[in-house]
Amino acid sequence: MRIVAAGARADLGQLEQALTVLSTPQLDPGRTGSTAARLFYAYAEILLALGRGDEALQWFLRSAAADIDGVTDAEDRVDELGAREQK
């Protein structure tokens, strides 16, 4: 539900508020599974939209590590951002 609420905030251009919605105790890098992977991914997307690419890359990496069921394309996003960083 928080991911949906954050997405709505982002759609309204309220990116900082979207980040706040996702900033909960569940945003623990030690978590794994599809729920954690999706949360980390959504957090990374908002960071990226805010122009915080380095932080976004870290959260996409965390999403990829947590995504034991393959529900996100976080690994692809890591590759994309890594390629941008090298240019």
Model pLDDT for residues 36-62, shown as the tens digit of each residue: 999 999 999 999 999 999 999 999 999
User: What is the tally of structural domains in the chain?
Assistant: 1
Range of the domain at 58: 24-86
Confidence bin at 86 (pLDDT 50/70/90): low
The structure's pTM equals 0.93
Answer yes or no: is pLDDT of 87 > 90: no
Model pLDDT for residues 67-77, shown as the tens digit of each residue: 999 999 999 99
Asked whether residue 7 is domain-assigned, the answer is: no
The pLDDT of residue 83 is 79
Asked whether residue 70 is domain-assigned, the answer is: yes
How many C-beta atoms surround the C-beta of residue 52 within 10 A? 16
Asked whether residue 9 is domain-assigned, the answer is: no
> What is the largest distance, in Å, between two alpha-carbon atoms of the chain?
37
Answer yes or no: is pLDDT of 30 > 70: yes
DSSP codes of every residue in 37-49? HHHHHHHHHHHHH
Asked whether residue 41 is domain-assigned, the answer is: yes
Asked whether residue 17 is domain-assigned, the answer is: no
The pLDDT of residue 85 is 66
Asked whether residue 73 is domain-assigned, the answer is: yes
